[in-house]
């Protein structure tokens, strides 16, 4: 019996053991879903504090309640470790490590390289390795495959290598790991077949593609599509401002068209690990081929400058009240990059607060999900929410539209509001509300 068939039989019987490298926003939900499906799963992370919390059955990810995690740990289906030695007997490994950008917007592959090199040390015949971290097209062929086969293992016969992009959307209560279709691109058809068999235990819909590069490009298309369209609607907001037109009314009207239009909405900038970052992987790769990804670079320029536009709206709003930014007390509501999560990675709120502080404003923030925020090397603490907090502000700036906020209460007690999310309805007796 071939190695592939032995592995498939083990997977189909539900006896295969899985390791997930990286127990963060992507890796932990994946590990939990597999464990819930009955697959013995090990979550590996370099952070000993996270590992200790997981082994106590305690979650640190908003999308994974402790009540969901604890029974899986107690049953032995899920455990955590910091050591690759504990992965020697697993049948499959999923890599879910960060892939940030360097200062020059080129990919930082150090986390992927480190994980792959560590896997190579324990790689054995009958092992499936899946890269889920978003990266540039060609990574699986150029980085993963050479490292894992240097010991003599043959792809598609002894070892099975796949790219399957993560599609985790923090805070999304509708589409979770199980009901979000999974794209799978193996180095060989056998690789795709093995990965599809494994992931079908935890995910309802499997979408095979012809190669890892096709899967890598699919992920980048998804996020570039969003980045470019957000850039477009942000520029539309700038144009409407010049024309004296309400961009929100324009979008609402356009969205009544039942075909050929999908509404996107302006905001203070892009946040999160994916949308502001991932398109740059593609742009960087194409530059190595003497091609300029013009849409990506233009959208990035527009989106990156939105915090400056928000600053100008705050400055103008204060000026109209006869106040300067310097010395004014500005209360920022919401600093997470999206509603109802505690994730501040790449949040535009950080840039807005930094710009305001540079102009001499006295800035405090409140966020029901974020207790601390690092801005320009300094750690700021969340200020408790109260009507006195709002009433004592010269300007209240809405940057993240968390459901926990009572917008009518905010409108009732704030003297001046800059609303970047179009959540507060102006009224005759209420404060002046400035929107994008």
- Among all residues, which ones are annotated catalytic? 274
Does residue 208 sit in helix, strand or coil?
A: strand
CA-based angle 416:419:421, to the nearest 5?
165
Using CA of residue 93, residue 96, residue 97, residue 100, what is the dihedral sign?
positive
Asked if residues 165 and 218 have their Cβ atoms less than 8 Å apart, the reply is yes
Residues 6 or more apart in contact with residue 336 via CB below 8 angstroms: 271, 342, 343, 344, 347, 349, 367, 369, 370, 400, 402
Helix (H) / strand (E) element for 94: namely: strand 92-95
* Rounded Cα distance, 85 and 178, in Å: 29
Q: Name residue, tokens 């535009």.
A: 348
- For residue 34, the Cα-to-chain-centroid distance in whole angstroms is 21
Strand partners, 381: 372
Using CA of residue 65, residue 71, residue 74, residue 80, what is the dihedral sign?
negative
* Rounded Cα distance, 164 and 249, in Å: 39
Longest dimension (CA), the chain: 82
* Rounded Cα distance, 84 and 217, in Å: 30
- Angle between helices 27-36 and 66-74 in degrees, nearest 10: 60
What Cα–Cα distance (Å) separates residue 241 from each residue in 82, 235, 244, 250?
A: 52, 10, 5, 12
* Rounded Cα distance, 176 and 436, in Å: 32
* Rounded Cα distance, 348 and 335, in Å: 8
Residue 307 tokens read as 């915090």
Is 372 exposed, middle or buried (CB count within 10 Å of its CB: 0-12, 13-18, 19+)? exposed
Asked if residues 325 and 356 have their Cβ atoms less than 8 Å apart, the reply is yes
């Amino acid at each position: 019996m071939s190695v592939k068939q032995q592995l498939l039989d083990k997977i189909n019987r539900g006896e295969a053991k899985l390791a997930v490298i990286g127990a963060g926003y992507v890796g932990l939900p994946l590990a939990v879903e597999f464990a819930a499906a009955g697959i013995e799963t090990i979550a590996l992370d370099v952070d000993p504090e996270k590992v200790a919390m997981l082994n106590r059955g305690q979650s640190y990810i908003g999308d994974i309640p402790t009540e969901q995690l604890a029974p899986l740990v107690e049953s032995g289906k899920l455990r955590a470790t910091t050591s690759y030695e504990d992965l020697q007997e697993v049948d499959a490994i999923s890599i879910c490590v960060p892939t940030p950008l360097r200062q020059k917007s080129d990919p930082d592959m150090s986390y992927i390289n480190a994980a792959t090199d560590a896997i190579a040390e324990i790689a054995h015949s009958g092992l499936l390795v899946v890269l889920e971290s978003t990266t540039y097209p060609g990574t699986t062929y150029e980085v993963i495959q050479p490292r894992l086969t240097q010991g003599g293992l043959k792809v598609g016969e002894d070892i099975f290598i796949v790219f399957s992009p993560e599609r985790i959307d923090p805070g999304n209560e509708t589409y979770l790991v199980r009901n979000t279709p999974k794209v799978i691109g193996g180095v060989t058809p056998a690789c795709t077949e093995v990965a599809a068999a494994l992931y079908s235990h935890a995910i309802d819909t499997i979408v095979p593609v012809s190669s890892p590069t096709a899967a890598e490009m699919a992920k980048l298309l998804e996020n570039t599509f969003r980045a470019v369209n957000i850039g477009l609607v942000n520029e539309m907001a700038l144009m409407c401002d010049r024309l004296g037109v309400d961009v929100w009314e324009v979008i609402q009207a356009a969205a009544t068209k039942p075909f050929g239009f999908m509404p996107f909405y302006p905001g203070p900038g892009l946040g999160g690990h994916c949308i502001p970052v991932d398109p740059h992987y593609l742009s960087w790769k194409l530059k190595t081929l003497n091609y300029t990804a013009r849409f990506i670079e233009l959208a990035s320029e527009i989106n990156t400058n939105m915090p400056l536009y928000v600053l100008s709206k705050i400055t103008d709003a204060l000026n109209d009240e006869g106040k300067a930014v310097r010395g004014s007390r500005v209360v920022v509501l919401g600093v997470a990059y999206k509603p109802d999560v505690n994730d501040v990675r790449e949040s535009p709120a950080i840039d807005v607060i930094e710009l305001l502080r540079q102009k001499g404003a006295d800035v405090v923030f409140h966020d029901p999900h974020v207790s601390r925020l690092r801005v320009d090397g300094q750690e700021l603490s969340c200020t408790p929410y109260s009507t006195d907090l709002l009433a004592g502000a010269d300007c209240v700036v809405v940057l993240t539209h968390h459901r926990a906020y009572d917008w009518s209460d905010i409108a009732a007690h704030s003297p001046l509001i800059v609303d970047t999310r179009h959540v507060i309805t102006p009224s005759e007796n209420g404060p002046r509300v400035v929107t994008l």
